[in-house]
Amino acid sequence: MPGRQLSGRARGLFVAGALIAFSVLAPAPSAQAHAFLESSNPADGLVVATAPSTLRLSFSESVVLSAVRIDLVDAHGRHVAPTAVRLQPEGDPGATED
C-alpha cells in the first residue's frame, strides 16, 4: 500500500499549524530594559546664565558609565566634554543596583 501524500493545501495548513504551535509553546525571550534619566540638576534642557560646577543625573536604575552619553552644549552651540564623571550611589553604599 503506497504512502499517503498530502495535497498542497493540506501541507500548507500543517506547516502553518506547526509554526503557530511552536510560537505558542516556545519560551518568550526575556524583556530588555534600559535605564532612563529620571531627573537632573540643573534640569534637562534648562538654559543657565553661568555654568554649574556640578551636574547631577539620576537614572531609573544602575548604569554603566561607558554606556552613558552625556551631551553638554554651551551658549554658542559648542559641545563640551564632561570631566571627572563618577557614580555616586544613593542609599546603601553596598547595594549593587545603586
* pLDDT tens by residue, 25-69: 766 665 556 788 888 999 988 888 888 888 888 888 888 888 888
Q: How far apart are CA 72 and CA 85, in angstroms?
A: 13
The mean of the pLDDT values for the chain is 77
Q: Is the pLDDT confidence value at 97 over 60?
A: no
Instruction: Give the model's pLDDT for residue 98.
Output: 45
Using alpha carbons, list the distances in angstroms from residue 27 to 24, 37, 66. Answer: 8, 31, 32
